[in-house]
């Protein structure tokens, strides 16, 4: 008996020791998530990551789409907060010194655009995985579009931006970030001239975005921003903007689409009715720019309705499945008008401006139905009307702060102020973890 | 149906069962009988009798026992029992039955009590260099709670036990010596009869609640354990204590010993209770029939008059708050009818607790079988918790070398819940955030409840149309083999498996009215399987060389943990279906989680003793967890402790003071341990997560990056203490001071990263943490005689929690359901310190007010940016409890006071009630007793939400009467009336300062956000022993 017990105890010890030794080396990996190499070494996975870029950029209240639309609109008084417990939105409404360093919209603008950029870079850095040129151009184009959108959005709100992903990253002036975005887009624009994305690639991304036109439209948009980014007009960039804007087809839609499961982030809060809505039928336009009465401009009624004392959104921000255009055809026309006006080519400027003012509909059924421009043919007057048309035609486009600066609208605290910030402060999550973060702009 | 005619009564069935269990044992033996009595000659029940032959017994209520011994030989018989000094006598048997009586004396400090120190290892308290607090099953029995952790409230010195929710299935958090980690669990390790069990809080209801990654809401699974099954609990509070469990015990160990069969005839214990639960205190909700502005103006105290849907034509004032917010406020009011919705959501809940156990056995075979049925309704309508327990345990002594023990404990728990407090569609929050001017009982023609103000949800919809339930099936089973190959050598092997499945159902019916909260309905189903497999082997060798005793133990533990789950949820529901099948396909989101890890460790421990006077224990342990990278996986943790029993030294007896100063002991202990739960299972890897956009598959980078250099937290703990007794052991004092630290910059947090680095967070070792404090325990027996006993137990403890260093630029904001940056990790502050805006102070230190008397928020310089600082601390400075028990003949009475002092509570609800317009301040502003704009002036200032959370509660009151015997086969019966949480002395402007919306979270503490208050409970119990 005693001997048997000895054997039992030896056996138990042995089993336990074997289990122990084998367990120490065991590596559990998460079966519900993909490791970095499985994504970066596989062309299909990179395509899924491209679809993920659109998810990152457009879905949820933390998304860059929500936050740039929200930031842009609040900065020019175009919207108002419905319930003041939406602290971040409420701070943006007051603006100036009231935007705290911890403001979640500012933090998410920074964070989610940085993450979009990181994901886009992951695709761009691993293009060699694609052996098929048509697959490769699809990956490159889609990643470039979101790379540019993230960098372009950052340049609108922040004075300086780190250009490359690294620990304790150094900051560069925003013009450098914009130029990087332009360079990435131009590179793929050249590729797209000869190669079209494969049908396989197109089947792996959500329908809605017209890749070729979007690359050109974004080049037009960012060259346009670049032309005035130093405060002095750069005609070379302006001409590039005109060139790319003219190359965009005005009859092709390029839009972010949504479903109930992955809803339109602005439509979603409009549907809730508790966050923010339009300020009123002036759309926040000041200093005589607002259409009076509002009904004289059918675009007001196109974009907003009136319920009680509130002005809920319509059109692209109406509901959960409303589409959101990546750009509107009129934006291209107005870019042409703007640069022609800046170059004192008043004829072509007025022609482009009137094309927007007098149209009774377009592919998105936006009709301005305004008389042709009849004001003085001066750069200043034309640009003022072009600004007004942009604010109405491109309501909630997320570019209002850049527009307000570029058109030299009255700054915060100036007489007749038209915006409540020039740039946003750097969010705490960056400042607390990166010693190179520059000082915050005062306003 | 065939009738079992032959076996006609229960005794025969039990006899048959008994025989099956026992087998047949035949050996010539003698029977020793006797009485164990106390100082005044009173027979003492429930005393353990152990003979050196290995046999054991227990005394009956009159102190009588009988034990069988082999025919011839010399045996030592030892009597022990909680609260008494053990006593041993040697008996030489010569074939005759004999009588042996014992008289034992009270031991206020229980120095001779055998305590479990891990797995199957036991030592007497006097041998230990660290604190072990013991709680008997008896003192858990009349607590008025069916939850084990709640029943422990006020009974463990130094433990902060908080019922974080008054839901019948709500969680209860246990903190030993403060919060010892941020990211990891701060709950102690629970071990039942040597088997490590899960106390996890795994959420399968409220799948649509995001209360922050650090919060742990819902039921913690100690709820599955039936307190009626428990014999005794030994609590080791510190990391220095347990080499046996090592790092898993870094927050202390709760060692639970369940009841077991004793040799002798079948014993049947039966008890049945009826329970009643009611709301202890309502919060003030104004029914003053006025509203500022118009009837349709929402948030009338704080919103612009012109946002009224019907034009407001009265006067207004314009108020610009220091943060720049401007309001044009209505100053005239309109008549409204106000209701108190609390009356519509609360109820008096009733319940029942029934228990039956059968135990007995022979010297060789002992069995214990029990069953329980517990059902309890909550104080929120349509909430309840049901638990069915079945337990069996068999112990077989095969021969003098080998004993085999096995047990199975099954439980089925089922709870009906309502949405959790962390959302506005919960019962309490729907009341808090909905203006009370609607008759919420009104229905439309189709019988549907009508809506209330825009975006809000009718509180009755929460009660009627939101159904959440959780079903848990759990089995804890074990096999234990004890081998004694030679004298002094013990080999114990325990295989324990804790296995449970949780099914959660969440259904929010599509409302018949427009609401911003789950307006298209919501459905979620979750299935989670948890499996813990524990292998423990311990070998100990006891050798005595003259006056020197040595105990060498070596052991190894291994735990395999596998938790897998499927969560599916969706919205946009079809009517008539209440599962995921109701959801629109494009909204359905399914997640599968697999959380697998292994934890393993081994130790070597050596205890030297000299003549019962001096003990020294030295131990070393290696621990590892597969959650950490291979390079940092295993660490060595040393421990050393000593105990000096001064009063056992020869000089003591000779001193005159020894007449009243009975015993004195000094002890000290130092040890290190890791915290293996500090990171999530896969926290060392960077990953891409899957998702979809418009039904197209996506990958996205998980912005919480992996850290391949992560290390376990290293905790060190030093404690020193003394145990003293006076006046014939009528007064016992224990005192322990400790310093518990996370050292070596190893404190783990999910720290923020600069987004420009490519992610937003990562687990990192960033700092140090300390918990310094002391614990004082007091046990006094002022009167003890044949008819009357009076016993007083008290404890007082102090703890100071401090983050002493952090390499992360502070503060780290903790994600929470309030969405406020108010809960933080800051070097130089306590874990979870409240952070936020505050009021300007005037010269005399009072809150500064403007010309009309509105408080002024402090701003940075002349800007409109609100200034921030630490404004509160959720960690109590003091924890105290005192219990008194009186026994007079057959009547006994006891009460327990339990309190925590010095902590703050972040009372979000109080402020919400003011903004919505029916709080006490809102009423005063409406009446003109406060200046117009007052609520708006305090609304953005977090300091207004921080309140003193100190409380003292009448935790338990119990009156018990031993009924006269009505029949011969009934050994004893008693009737007990118990009250629980009857009174709370506090200044808190809410339901109860003992609460936490973060549930069992380590770092999110003291948050009152829609939490269900703890009920006042009455219970009547009838107990009988057959």
- Percentage of chain B exceeding pLDDT 90: 50
CB distance A83–B299 less than 8 Å? yes
Q: Determine the pLDDT at residue B10.
A: 52
Q: What is the mean pLDDT of residues B364-373?
A: 94
CB distance B760–A111 less than 8 Å? yes
* pLDDT higher than 90, residue B22: no
Tokens representing A186 are 């131009």
Cα dihedral value A389, A419, A89, B925, nearest 10: -120
**Residues B399, B394: Cα–Cα separation, whole Å:** 15
CB distance A167–B325 less than 8 Å? no
* pLDDT higher than 80, residue B116: no
A202 reaches B (C-beta below 8 A): no
- Percentage of chain A exceeding pLDDT 90: 84
Q: Determine the pLDDT at residue B4.
A: 41
Q: What's the 3-state SS for B127-190? A: HCCCCCEEEEHHHHHCCCCCCHHHHCCCCCCCEEEEECCCCCCCCEEEEECCCCCCCCCCCCEE
More confident residue, A128 or A98: A128
Q: What's the 3-state SS for B687-737? A: EEEEEEECCEEEEEECCEECCCCCCCEEEEEEEEEEEEEECCCCEEEEEEE
Quickly list H helices, A205-259: 211-227, 235-247
What one-character DSSP code corresponds to residue A141? H
Q: Determine the pLDDT at residue B365.
A: 93
Q: Determine the pLDDT at residue B855.
A: 96
More confident residue, A346 or B134: A346
**Residues A69, A317: Cα–Cα separation, whole Å:** 10
Query: Which band of pLDDT confidence, cut at 50, 70 and 90, is reported for residue A203?
Result: very high
Q: Determine the pLDDT at residue B185.
A: 78
**Residues A248, A363: Cα–Cα separation, whole Å:** 14
Do you find a cis peptide bond into A259, omega within 30 degrees of 0? no
CB distance A13–B537 less than 8 Å? yes
More confident residue, B213 or A69: A69
Q: What residues of A are in contact with residue B1009 (Cβ under 8 Å)?
A: none
Instruction: Report the gap between the CA of A310 and the closest CA in chain B (Å).
Output: 8
Residue of A nearest to B589 (CA): A261
**Residues A369, A380: Cα–Cα separation, whole Å:** 23
Dump pLDDT digits (tens) for B276-292.
999 999 999 999 999 99
User: Across the interface, which of A24, A162, A432 has its CB nearest the CB of B634?
Assistant: A24
Q: Which of A1, A30, A258 has the most B C-beta neighbours within 10 Å, making it the best mutation to test the interface with B?
A: A30
Residue B351 DSSP SS3: strand
Q: What residues of A are in contact with residue B690 (Cβ under 8 Å)?
A: 33-34, 48
Q: Give the start-end residues of each E strand in A300-427.
A: 324-325
* pLDDT higher than 70, residue B561: yes
CB distance B699–A273 less than 8 Å? no
User: Across the interface, which of B556, B626, B685 has its CB nearest the CB of A26?
Assistant: B626
Q: Determine the pLDDT at residue B23.
A: 40
User: Across the interface, which of B306, B693, B813 has its CB nearest the CB of A55?
Assistant: B693
Q: Determine the pLDDT at residue B17.
A: 45
Kindly write down the DSSP assignment for every residue of B660-677, as one continuous string. Answer: TEEEEEEEEEEEEEEETT
Instruction: Report the gap between the CA of B812 and the closest CA in chain A (Å).
Output: 9
B574 reaches A (C-beta below 8 A): no
Q: Determine the pLDDT at residue B534.
A: 92
CB distance A16–B483 less than 8 Å? no
**Residues B997, B912: Cα–Cα separation, whole Å:** 15
CB atoms within 10 A of CB B976: 20
Dump pLDDT digits (tens) for A273-326.
779 999 999 999 999 999 999 999 999 999 999 987 789 999 999 999 999 999
Query: Which band of pLDDT confidence, cut at 50, 70 and 90, is reported for residue A8?
Result: low
Dump pLDDT digits (tens) for B485-521.
888 898 999 999 999 999 999 999 999 988 878 888 9
A235 reaches B (C-beta below 8 A): no
Query: What does the mean pLDDT of chain A come to?
Result: 92
B450 reaches A (C-beta below 8 A): no
Q: Determine the pLDDT at residue B729.
A: 82
Instruction: Report the gap between the CA of A311 and the closest CA in chain B (Å).
Output: 11
Instruction: Report the gap between the CA of A323 and the closest CA in chain B (Å).
Output: 12
Residue of A nearest to B820 (CA): A87
Q: What is the mean pLDDT of residues B18-39?
A: 63
B864 reaches A (C-beta below 8 A): yes
Query: Which band of pLDDT confidence, cut at 50, 70 and 90, is reported for residue B910?
Result: very high
Residue of A nearest to B534 (CA): A16
Tokens representing B549 are 């005793």
* pLDDT higher than 90, residue B994: yes
Q: What is the mean pLDDT of residues B44-55?
A: 76
Instruction: Report the gap between the CA of A360 and the closest CA in chain B (Å).
Output: 32
Dump pLDDT digits (tens) for B530-549.
999 999 999 989 888 888 98
B857 reaches A (C-beta below 8 A): no
* Least reliable range by pLDDT among B304-308, B465-469, B579-583: B304-308
Query: Which band of pLDDT confidence, cut at 50, 70 and 90, is reported for residue A377?
Result: very high
Query: What does the mean pLDDT of chain B come to?
Result: 88
Most confident of A6-20, A85-99, B71-85, B155-169: B155-169
A319 reaches B (C-beta below 8 A): no
Q: Determine the pLDDT at residue B965.
A: 80
- Between the alpha carbon of residue A127 and those of residues A120, A144, B25, B41, the distances in Å are 11, 12, 79, 91
**Residues B325, A94: Cα–Cα separation, whole Å:** 7
CB distance B758–A165 less than 8 Å? yes
Q: What is the mean pLDDT of residues A98-107?
A: 86
* Least reliable range by pLDDT among B419-423, B598-602, B769-773: B419-423
What one-character DSSP code corresponds to residue B841? B
User: Across the interface, which of A2, A29, A430 has its CB nearest the CB of B755?
Assistant: A430
Query: Which band of pLDDT confidence, cut at 50, 70 and 90, is reported for residue B20?
Result: very low
CB distance A261–B537 less than 8 Å? no
Dump pLDDT digits (tens) for B794-849.
999 999 999 988 877 567 777 777 766 678 888 889 998 998 899 999 999 999 99
Q: What residues of A are in contact with residue B299 (Cβ under 8 Å)?
A: 83
Q: Determine the pLDDT at residue B6.
A: 44
**Residues B151, B223: Cα–Cα separation, whole Å:** 11
């Amino acid at each position: 008996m005693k001997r048997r017990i000895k054997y039992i105890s030896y056996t138990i010890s042995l089993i336990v020791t074997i289990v122990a030794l084998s367990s120490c080396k065991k590596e559990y990996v998460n079966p519900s998530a993909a490791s970095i190499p499985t994504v970066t070494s596989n062309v299909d996975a990179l395509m899924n990551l491209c679809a993920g870029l659109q998810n990152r950029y457009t879905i949820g209240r933390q998304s860059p789409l929500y936050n740039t639309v929200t930031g842009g609109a609040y900065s020019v008084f175009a919207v108002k907060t419905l319930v003041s417990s939406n602290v971040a939105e409420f701070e943006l409404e007051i603006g100036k010194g009231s935007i705290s360093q911890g403001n979640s919209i500012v933090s998410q603008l920074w964070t989610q655009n940085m993450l979009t950029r990181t994901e886009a870079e992951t695709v761009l850095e691993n293009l060699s995985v694609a052996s098929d040129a048509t697959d490769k151009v699809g990956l490159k184009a889609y990643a470039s579009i979101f790379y540019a959108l993230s960098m372009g959005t950052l340049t609108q709100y922040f004075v300086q931006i780190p250009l490359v992903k690294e620990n304790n990253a150094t900051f560069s002036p925003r013009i450098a970030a914009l130029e990087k975005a332009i360079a990435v887009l131009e590179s793929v624009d050249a590729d797209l001239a000869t190669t079209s994305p494969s049908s396989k690639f197109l089947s792996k991304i959500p329908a809605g975005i017209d890749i070729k036109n979007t690359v050109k439209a974004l080049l037009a948009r960012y060259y346009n921003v670049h032309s005035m980014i130093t405060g002095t007009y750069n005609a070379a960039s302006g001409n590039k903007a005109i060139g790319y804007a003219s190359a965009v087809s005005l009859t092709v839609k390029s839009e972010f689409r949504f479903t109930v499961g992955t809803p339109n982030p602005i439509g979603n809060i409009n549907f809730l009715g508790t966050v923010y809505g339009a300020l009123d039928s002036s759309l926040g336009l000041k200093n005589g720019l607002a259409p009076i009465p509002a009904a004289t401009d059918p675009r007001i009624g196109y974009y907003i309705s009136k319920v009680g004392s509130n002005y809920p959104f319509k059109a692209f921000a109406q509901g959960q499945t409303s589409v959101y255009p990546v750009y509107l055809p009129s934006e291209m026309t107005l870019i042409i008008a703007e640069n022609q006006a800046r170059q004192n080519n008043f004829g072509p400027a007025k022609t482009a401006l009137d094309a927007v003012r007098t149209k009774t509909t377009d592919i998105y059924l936006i009709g301005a139905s305004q008389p042709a421009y009849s004001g003085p043919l001066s750069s200043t007057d034309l640009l003022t009307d072009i600004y007004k048309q942009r604010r109405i035609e491109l309501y909630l486009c997320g570019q209002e702060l850049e527009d307000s600066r570029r058109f030299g609208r009255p700054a915060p605290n100036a007489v007749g102020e038209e915006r409540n910030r020039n740039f946003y402060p750097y969010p705490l999550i960056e400042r607390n973890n990166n010693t190179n973060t520059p000082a915050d702009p005062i306003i | 149906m065939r009738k079992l005619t032959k076996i006609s009564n229960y005794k025969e069935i039990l006899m048959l069962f008994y025989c099956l269990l026992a087998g047949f044992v035949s050996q010539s033996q003698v029977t020793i009988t006797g009485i164990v009595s106390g100082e005044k000659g009173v027979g003492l029940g429930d005393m353990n009798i152990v003979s050196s032959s290995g046999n054991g017994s227990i005394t009956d209520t009159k102190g009588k026992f009988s034990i069988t011994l082999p025919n011839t030989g010399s045996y030592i018989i030892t009597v022990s029992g909680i609260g008494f000094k053990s006593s041993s006598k040697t008996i030489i048997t010569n074939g005759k039955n004999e009588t042996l009586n014992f008289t034992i004396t009270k031991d206020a400090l229980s120095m001779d009590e055998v305590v479990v120190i891990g797995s199957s290892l036991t030592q007497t308290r006097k041998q230990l260099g660290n604190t072990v607090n013991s709680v008997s099953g008896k003192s858990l029995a009349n607590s008025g709670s069916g939850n084990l952790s709640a029943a422990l409230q006020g009974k463990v010195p130094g433990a902060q036990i908080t019922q974080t929710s008054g839901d019948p299935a709500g969680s209860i958090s246990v903190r030993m010596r403060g919060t010892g980690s941020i990211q990891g669990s701060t709950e102690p390790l629970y071990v039942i009869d040597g088997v490590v069990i899960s106390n996890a809080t795994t959420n399968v209801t409220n799948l649509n609640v995001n209360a922050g990654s650090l919060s742990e809401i819902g039921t913690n699974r100690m709820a599955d354990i039936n307190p009626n099954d428990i014999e005794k609990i030994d609590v080791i509070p510190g990391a220095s204590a347990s080499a046996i469990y090592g790092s898993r015990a870094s927050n202390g160990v709760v060692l639970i010993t369940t009841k077991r069969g004793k040799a002798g005839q079948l014993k049947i214990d039966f008890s049945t209770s009826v329970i009643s639960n009611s709301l202890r205190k309502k919060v003030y909700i104004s029914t003053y029939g006025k509203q500022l502005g118009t009837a349709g103006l929402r948030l009338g105290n704080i919103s612009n008059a012109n946002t009224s849907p019907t034009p407001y034509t009265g006067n207004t004032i314009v108020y610009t708050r220091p943060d720049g917010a401007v309001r044009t406020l209505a100053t005239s009011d309109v008549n409204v009818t106000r209701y108190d919705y609390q009356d519509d959501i609360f109820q008096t809940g009733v319940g029942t607790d029934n228990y039956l156990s059968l135990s007995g056995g022979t010297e060789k075979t002992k069995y214990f079988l029990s069953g329980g049925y517990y059902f309890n309704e909550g104080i929120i309508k349509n909430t309840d918790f049901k638990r069915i327990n079945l337990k069996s345990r068999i112990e077989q002594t095969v021969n003098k070398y080998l004993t085999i023990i096995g047990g199975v404990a099954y439980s089925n728990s089922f709870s009906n819940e309502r949405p959790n407090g962390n959302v506005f569609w919960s019962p309490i929050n729907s009341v808090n955030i909905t203006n009370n001017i609607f008759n919420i009982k009104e229905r439309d023609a189709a019988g549907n409840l009508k809506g209330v103000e825009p975006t809000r949800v009718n509180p009755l919809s929460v009660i009627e149309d939101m159904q959440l339930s959780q079903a848990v099936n759990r089995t804890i089973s074990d096999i234990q083999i004890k081998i004694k190959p030679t004298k002094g050598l013990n080999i114990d092997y325990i295989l324990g498996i804790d296995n449970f499945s949780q099914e959660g159902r969440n259904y929010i019916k599509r409302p018949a009215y427009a609401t911003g909260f789950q307006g298209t309905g919501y459905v979620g189903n979750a299935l989670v399987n948890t499996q813990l497999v524990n292998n423990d082997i311990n070998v100990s060798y006891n050798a005595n060389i003259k006056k020197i005793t040595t105990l060498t133990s070596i052991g190894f533990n291994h735990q395999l943990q596998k938790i897998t789950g499927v969560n599916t949820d969706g919205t946009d529901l079809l009517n008539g279906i209440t599962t995921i099948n109701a959801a629109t396909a494009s909204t359905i989101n399914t997640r599968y989680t697999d959380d697998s890890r292994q934890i393993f460790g081994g130790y070597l421990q050596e205890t030297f003793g000299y003549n019962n006077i001096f003990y020294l224990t030295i131990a070393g342990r290696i621990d590892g967890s597969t959650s950490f990278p291979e390079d940092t996986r295993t660490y060595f943790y040393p421990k050393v402790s000593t105990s000096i029993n001064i009063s056992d030294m020869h000089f003591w007896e000779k001193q005159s003071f020894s007449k009243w100063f009975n015993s004195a002991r000094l002890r000290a202990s130092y040890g290190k341990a890791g915290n293996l739960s500090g990171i999530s299972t896969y926290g060392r890897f960077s990953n891409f997560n899957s998702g979809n956009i418009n039904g197209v598959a996506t990958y996205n980078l998980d912005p919480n990056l992996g850290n391949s250099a992560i290390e376990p937290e290293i905790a060190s703990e030093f404690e020193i203490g003394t145990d003293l007794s006076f006046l014939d052991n009528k007064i016992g004092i224990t005192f322990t001071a400790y310093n518990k630290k996370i050292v070596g910059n190893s404190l783990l947090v999910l720290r923020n990263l600069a987004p420009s680095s490519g992610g937003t967070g990562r687990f990192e070792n960033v700092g140090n943490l300390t918990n310094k404090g002391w614990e004082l325990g007091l046990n006094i027996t002022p009167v003890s005689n044949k008819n009357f006993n009076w016993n007083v137990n008290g404890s007082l403890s102090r703890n100071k929690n401090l983050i002493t260093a952090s390499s992360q630029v502070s503060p780290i904001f903790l994600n929470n359901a309030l969405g406020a940056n108010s809960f933080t990790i800051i070097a130089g502050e306590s874990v979870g310190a409240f952070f936020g805006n505050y009021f300007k102070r005037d010269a005399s230190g009072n809150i500064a007010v403007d010309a009309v008397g509105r408080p002024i928020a402090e701003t940075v310089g002349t800007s409109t940016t609100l200034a921030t600082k630490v404004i509160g601390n959720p960690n109590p400075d003091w924890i105290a409890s005192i219990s008194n028990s009186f026994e007079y003949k057959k009547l006994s009475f006891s009460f327990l006071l339990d309190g925590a002092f010095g902590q703050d509570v972040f009372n979000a609800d109080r402020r919400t009630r003011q903004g919505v317009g029916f709080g006490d301040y809102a009423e005063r502003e409406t009446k003109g007793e406060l200046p117009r704009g007052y609520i708006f002036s305090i609304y953005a200032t977090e300091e207004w939400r921080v309140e003193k959370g100190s409380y003292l509660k009448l935790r338990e009151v119990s009156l018990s009467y031993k009924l006269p015997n009505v029949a011969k086969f009934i050994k004893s019966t008693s009737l007990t009336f118990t009250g629980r949480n009857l009174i709370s002395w506090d200044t808190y402007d809410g339901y109860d300062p003992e609460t936490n919306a973060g549930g069992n979270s380590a770092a999110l503490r003291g948050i009152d956000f829609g939490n269900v208050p703890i009920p006042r409970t009455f219970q009547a119990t009838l107990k009988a022993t057959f």
